[in-house]
């Protein structure tokens, strides 16, 4: 057998959802640059799930469905009080809450396409409510109920802070959601597809995906980037800090990507938003430090930044707690996970690869009393 560690370059399935060809990312054939500049996140959800951009009436219907399903069961909200709030990471809380949601969905185990689509709506609508409710409850604040008159991006920021967000904040957050919505067979998406390929339910698939996203080599990278920026502290300390890391052969989070040779096409959009927002908040040092780090790492290692690098300073400038960065990734990527889960169900085949065994050869069982 030919072994490909990490399945790098292995084509595991066909898909009509997103593609990465010659360093260009597309959703259903639409270039990510086009969508990042022009599309709402709600349009992108519809695009990924239906393989076409919505008409006005179709978008209005989706918005209404999401708004009507955004509230959480009281049991889920009450469950947060049982978590060890001081210790638990929001990604662990999200993973647990999504699994718990399945217990309160009467259609959880119904597998017809119509029921699965209804569950997709409910999950997409409730994920941001879970993240924002937990973020507030752990601070001793009451959850803020979702509003039906706000966009997806605006509603998240409103539920997080309790205040209606400014237009520039909504623009930045919507752009981040669009950019993170899908990314072909990344680790968490592949995890979701492996899970539901057994004909397990949607809640299991999304819970599994969240577990994969939690790792620092996947969704946790943007949180690690902000931790690094905070440790550096100022533009004056940037060069010595990074060069010491490079000299010690330590990984600089937020750089390089397995599927891009010449840079992540999503990064430039968040770079621009980082520049705008850090200037607006009076903290331009985060952007300046980031650009200096980019100059050094790209110059020394030929590794351009990926989407996680500038998303860190964008989210920080929006006043978002650093450990919420990865849950926000999940809020967006749920749209892609659900698209892939629904696609997997449409033409399912159990995903069962092989392993090249490298252990001992044929051995004979020896009774325990005879073992030395």
Mean per-residue pLDDT pooled into runs of 10, the chain (372 residues) = 83 94 94 97 98 98 98 95 89 97 96 98 98 96 97 98 96 96 96 98 98 89 92 95 94 84 88 95 96 94 90 95 95 98 97 93 95 88
pLDDT reported for residue 120: 98
Describe the strand order of the beta sheet including 18-21 as a list of residue ranges. Answer: 18-21, 24-27, 30-31
Please indicate whether residue 79 is annotated as part of the active site.
Answer: no
Q: Which CATH class is domain 16-165+181-214+330-346?
A: mainly alpha
pLDDT reported for residue 232: 96
Q: Show Cβ contacts of residue 211 under 8 Å, excluding neighbours closer than 6 positions.
A: 95, 191
What is residue 25's three-state secondary structure?
strand
pLDDT reported for residue 1: 73
pLDDT reported for residue 104: 96
Q: Which of the residues 105, 180, 183, 257 is marked catalytic?
A: 257
φ, ψ (nearest 5 deg) of residue 349: -145, 130
Give CATH 1.10.230.10 domain extents, the chain: 221-317
DSSP per-residue letters across 26-45: EETTEEHHHHHHH--HHHHH
Residue with tokens 């590794």: 303
pLDDT reported for residue 144: 97
Give CATH 1.10.580.10 domain extents, the chain: 16-165+181-214+330-346
Please indicate whether residue 257 is annotated as part of the active site.
Answer: yes
Per-residue HEC secondary structure of 41-56 comes to HHHHHHHHHHCCCCCH
Q: Which CATH class is domain 221-317?
A: mainly alpha
Q: Which of the residues 105, 183, 308, 316 is marked catalytic?
A: 308
* Opening angle at CA 36, ends 191 and 265, nearest 5: 65
pLDDT reported for residue 31: 97
Distance in angstroms (rounded) separating the CA atoms of residues 108 and 120: 11
Distance in angstroms (rounded) separating the CA atoms of residues 336 and 202: 13
Q: Considering the entire predicted model, what is its pTM?
A: 0.93
């Amino acid at each position: 057998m030919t072994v490909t560690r990490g399945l790098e370059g292995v084509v595991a399935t066909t898909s009509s959802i997103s593609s990465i060809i010659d360093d260009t990312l597309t959703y259903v054939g639409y270039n990510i640059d086009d969508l990042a500049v022009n599309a709402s996140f709600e349009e992108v959800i519809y695009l990924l799930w239906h393989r076409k951009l919505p008409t006005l009436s179709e978008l209005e219907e989706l918005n209404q469905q999401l708004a009507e399903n955004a509230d959480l069961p009281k049991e889920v909200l009450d469950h947060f009080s049982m978590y060890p709030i001081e210790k638990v990471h929001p990604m662990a809380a999200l993973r647990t809450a999504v699994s718990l949601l399945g217990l309160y969905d009467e259609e959880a185990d119904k597998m017809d396409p119509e029921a699965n689509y209804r569950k997709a709506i409910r999950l997409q609508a409730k994920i941001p409510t879970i993240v924002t409710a937990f973020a507030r409850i752990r601070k001793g604040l009451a959850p803020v109920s979702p509003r039906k008159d706000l966009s997806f991006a605006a509603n998240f920021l409103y539920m997080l802070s309790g205040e209606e967000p400014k237009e520039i904040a909504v623009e930045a957050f919507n752009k981040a959601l669009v950019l993170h919505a899908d990314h072909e067979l990344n680790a968490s998406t592949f995890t979701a597809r492996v899970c539901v390929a057994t004909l397990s339910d949607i809640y299991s698939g999304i819970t599994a995906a969240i577990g994969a996203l939690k790792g620092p080599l996947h969704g946790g990278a943007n949180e690690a980037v902000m931790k690094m920026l905070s440790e550096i502290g100022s533009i004056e300390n940037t060069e010595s800090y990074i060069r010491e890391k490079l000299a010690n052969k330590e990984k600089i989070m937020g750089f390089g990507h397995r599927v891009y040779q010449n840079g992540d096409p999503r990064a430039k959009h968040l770079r621009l938003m980082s520049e705008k927002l850090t200037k607006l908040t009076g903290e331009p040092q985060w952007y300046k430090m980031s650009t200096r780090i980019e100059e050094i790492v790209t110059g020394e290692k030929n590794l351009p930044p990926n989407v996680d690098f500038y998303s860190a300073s964008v989210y920080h400038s929006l006043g978002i707690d650093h450990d919420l960065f990865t849950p926000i990734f999940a809020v967006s990527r749920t749209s892609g996970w659900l698209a892939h889960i629904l696609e997997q169900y449409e033409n399912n085949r159990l995903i069962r690869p092989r392993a090249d065994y490298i252990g001992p050869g044929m051995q004979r069982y020896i009774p325990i009393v005879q073992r030395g």
